Amino acid sequence: MRAPERTPLGAALALLLALVTLTGPASPALMVGAVSLTAILLGIGWPALLELPSPRGTRWVVSGTGVLAAVTILLAPERIEPISGILMVCALGIFGAFVHQMVRPQREELTFSLTGTVSGALMAGLGASWVLAQHLALAQDRTALLTAIALGLVSTLLLRTAPVPTLVQFLLSAVMGAALTAVLLMQLLGLELLLASGIGAVSAIAAAAAQQLLGSTLVAREAVPSLAVAAAPVATVGVVALLVVSQLP
């Protein structure tokens, strides 16, 4: 799978998130499904992308952390804060990574395998921030905020396929993604130019940087590792979306 074939998968995931934000009261439950799909793709590709030993266990830990975090936010009782639920599941993911290393039949590269598994589990778990962000946005009648961020993410990831030098490609995708997000925020929510531009810039740069970092590895062009390269920017921007929804006055 070449890079131009890989990037649209991430854009497709972002487009799925954008569509989910438009589904009204059902959107939190549907967002769990979309986020779980992202976590599963991340889990499948993560050990191959980092070339970790014992990939099967790593896949279970990374995918399981992301899916469980998303479900926990949806089903958490009122006495548990949703953000606390994400943190608890991430902690369980770290514990699962240690357990995975203890039960491995081969003992080589333990530190490398552990740190790689933990990083993947944390990324998958924090990707569940999309679910909490959608829940908050729905309660505040600000779902257009997440729609704008998700559509800006689509633009950013699509432009990563532009047939230009790497630096130009990075700048083009970040600038155009930020611009689209800002325009949508101003049109749909009436935000001021400076605020809308700041939100767009942070989300677009985060996505482009995550894709650039992971896509630069030697095996990133192969089919299985490319799944993680596609899913990682989507999970990363979930944290940005949650911060914007929760902190915007």
At 88, is the pLDDT very low, low, confident or very high (cuts 50, 70, 90)?
very high
What percentage of the chain reaches a pLDDT higher than 90? 77
What integer pLDDT is reported at residue 6 of this predicted model? 52
Least confident residue range of 74-78, 85-89, 95-99, 237-241: 74-78
CA distances from 225 to 46, 59, 63, 116, 159 (A): 6, 12, 14, 14, 20
Cα–Cα distance, 30 to 186 (Å, whole number): 26
Find how far residue 15's CA is from the centre of its chain: 13
At 183, is the pLDDT very low, low, confident or very high (cuts 50, 70, 90)?
very high
Cα–Cα distance, 14 to 36 (Å, whole number): 13
How large is the average pLDDT for residues 43-51?
95
What percentage of the chain reaches a pLDDT higher than 70? 96
Is the confidence at residue 5, as pLDDT, over 80?
no
More confidently predicted of 107 and 187: 187
Using one digit for the tens of pLDDT, what is the confidence trace for 90-113?
999 999 999 999 998 887 888 999
How large is the average pLDDT for residues 3-9?
60
Q: What average pLDDT is seen over the chain?
A: 91
How large is the average pLDDT for residues 12-35?
95
- Is residue 180 within 8 A of residue 203, CB to CB? The reply is no
CA distances from 167 to 174, 177, 183 (A): 11, 15, 24
What integer pLDDT is reported at residue 3 of this predicted model? 47
What integer pLDDT is reported at residue 68 of this predicted model? 96
Using one digit for the tens of pLDDT, what is the confidence trace for 192-237?
999 999 999 999 999 999 999 998 888 888 889 999 999 999 999 9
Cα–Cα distance, 218 to 236 (Å, whole number): 21
Is the confidence at residue 78, as pLDDT, over 70?
no
201: Cβ contacts below 8 Å, ≥ 6 apart: 174, 178, 182
Q: Output the CA torsion sign for 186, 18, 32, 24.
A: positive
Q: SS3 for 12-62, per residue? A: HHHHHHHHHCCCHHHHHHHHHHHHHHHHHHHHHHHHHHHCCCCHHHHHHHH
Is the confidence at residue 189, as pLDDT, over 80?
yes
How large is the average pLDDT for residues 153-174?
88
At 2, is the pLDDT very low, low, confident or very high (cuts 50, 70, 90)?
very low
What is this structure's pTM? 0.92
